[in-house]
A and B are shown apart, each in its own frame.
Chain A
Amino acid sequence: NAGVTQTPKFRILKIGQSMTLQCTQDMNHNYMYWYRQDPGMGLKLIYYSVGAGITDKGEVPNGYNVSRSTTEDFPLRLELAAPSQTSVYFCASSYNEQFFGPGTRLTVL
């Protein structure tokens, strides 16, 4: 099993650009999550999903959108990138404990 995979690993965006962060898991987990981690801080939940077709907001959802059309995939969309969205983004999936992907480091200039 590959576990949780994320692409891309790194990305630099200009203000106002859009992009999609990809997340895939091969463990058949119903629960999937997106977190952001700012320097020296813990993780903050952006969105989560309890299964295909069902998503819900976390603590910091503004500026982001998600979709969950399959059990495996949970992409995170940034429509109008802002400098405040510069962060490391982690995707996770769970049955009980959460398994995390390696992260995407995003810089918005």
Chain B
Amino acid sequence: AQSVTQLDSHVSVSEGTPVLLRCNYSSSYSPSLFWYVQHPNKGLQLLLKYTSAATLVKGINGFEAEFKKSETSFHLTKPSAHMSDAAEYFCVVSDESNTGKLIFGQGTTLQVKP
């Protein structure tokens, strides 16, 4: 069965410094991988997705993630944090049933300090 592990429940950075949110997955096949962001009192928004094309995926708002099959990782990065990046981030893997069903990690809260 697939699973997703987000290695940090809480990450704090200063504005203007790099962001790294770590994610490892477990799957018996080659899944699609996603990062979603959830701002307070707002719906989940897709940041980026990997679907077996280029291993370095660029998303919205300057975020990107690299799929590393050998490490079963899909870490999310951004070169320079902005105050508006403060939110909850979810790493997500597609279920092997190929129905689009998603399996979410526990989430990482990103705090951005001025």
Our verdict on whether A and B bind, yes or no, reads no
